[in-house]
Amino acid sequence: MNNESISQEKFSAGKEIESANFGESLAGKYMTFKLAEEEYGLEILMVREIIGLMDITRVPRTKEFIRGVINLRGKVIPVIDLRLKFGMSRVEATDQTVIIVVQYSYMDREFTMGILVDEVLEVFDIAADQIEPPPTFGTSTMDTEFILGVGKAEKRVIFLLDIAKVLTSEDTEVLKKMVTET
């Protein structure tokens, strides 16, 4: 074996250890869902419930990805269309389209919102060695801060989301204001 092969093996082994260490803090149960052909995962503890598509009341003069608000058992909850937030095209709802109600902390306050997704897949246990750091594209102009890591399962790639970072602080303030004013 030559020195180049040995160096490559050490590099590969180092990458595996680095990747496993990275995944330790993210390992756990994730609810997976689809947007177009892409799979995403939300930490299961963030998910409050899944509801079928219901009437969403549009709030005037809001960004296109903010679909509006719903009345869920007497509580007004803002709903965002994750497809539009991620720059995908709008599609007609199907019988698989659902709203995932999530709860997260923002500035020491619990915040609840609905995210519109194409289809919920399953609750999936992702081990530390199945999680890699988010991809870097060599440019600081790409906002991938909301991707915690990338889960690998069989031949699938699952983007693990930090739902609290999907929205900018400005977006969250708009949603908070929508809920308090309706």
Share of the chain above pLDDT 70, in %: 83
Question: Domain residues for 71?
Answer: 3-181
Q: Are 179 and 80 in contact (CB under 8 A)?
A: no
The pLDDT value given to residue 165 = 87
Q: Can you tell me the mean pLDDT for 12-16?
A: 42
CATH number of the domain to which 100 belongs: 2.40.50.180
- Quote the tokens at residue 43: 């930490």
pLDDT, tens only, 113-126: 999 999 999 998 99
Radius of gyration of the chain measured on its C-alpha atoms: 19
Residue 57 reports pLDDT greater than 80 = yes
Residue 18 reports pLDDT greater than 60 = no
Number of structural domains the chain divides into: 1
